[in-house]
Amino acid sequence: MTFILFKIGEDRYALELNRVTEVLPRVQLKAMPQAAAGIAGVFNYHGQPLPVVDLTALTLGHPASESLSTRLLVVQCAAADGSARLLGLLAEHATGTAQFEPAAFQASGLTITGAPYLGPVASDARGLVQWVQVEQILSPEIRAQLWQQAEAAA
C-alpha cells in the first residue's frame, strides 16, 4: 500500500495515498474566528469552500510552518451523516511517499486519549512512522463545526 509521508515536529507520519484526492502547495486560507483549535480556515477548492485542519496546530498547538514543503492534502473523509466529504489537511514536509504493507504496522503500546487518530507504527531505514487515521482526526468539537451548513441544506 502506498502512503504519503509528512512530519509533525520531528516525527514522521503516514496517510494512505488512496485517501488523498489532490496535493496542493500551501494556499491562503480564510480564517474562521471562533473555530475549534486545529481548524485553520477554508479556501476555494474548485468553486466550493473547503475546510482545512492544520495537523501541527491540532497536535502541537502551533500553526504549521510556511515552508515550501508544507502541503495541503485534500482527503476524502466521512462526515457525521456518513456521506463522503472532502477535507483539507495542512501537513509539513509532505513531499514523499513510501510503500508499507498494512501488516507492517503494529500497535505502539500506548493509548493517547486526546489523539485517537494516531494509529499503529511501522519501521523503515529512517526509523518509525505512524499511521494517521483520517476519520479519527476529527474530534467531536471539530466534527460539530464541519459541514453543518451543507448537511442542513441537504
**Mind listing the pLDDT tens digit for each residue in 112-125?**
777 767 789 999 99
pLDDT at 147: 67
d(CA 132, CA 115): 10
Residue 102 one-letter amino acid: P
The pLDDT-based confidence of 19 (bands split at 50, 70, 90) is: very high
| pLDDT computed for residue 151 by the predictor | 43
Q: CA neighbours within 13 Å on the CB side: how many for 49?
A: 13
Regarding pTM above 0.95, the answer is no
pLDDT at residue 148, as a whole number: 63
Which domains can be identified in the chain, with CATH numbers?
2-153 (2.40.50.180)
> Which residue, among 126, 27, 38, 119, has the nearest Cα to 72 in the 3D structure?
27
Chain center to CA of 70: 12
Can you say whether the dihedral through the CA atoms of 27, 132, 76, 57 is positive or negative? negative
Cβ-based neighbours of 48, under 8 Å, separated by 6 or more: none
Residue 36 has pLDDT above 70, yes or no: yes
pLDDT digits (tens, 9 = 90+) for 76-111: 987 767 788 899 999 999 989 999 999 999 988 777
Phi then psi dihedrals of residue 2, to 5 deg? -95, 135
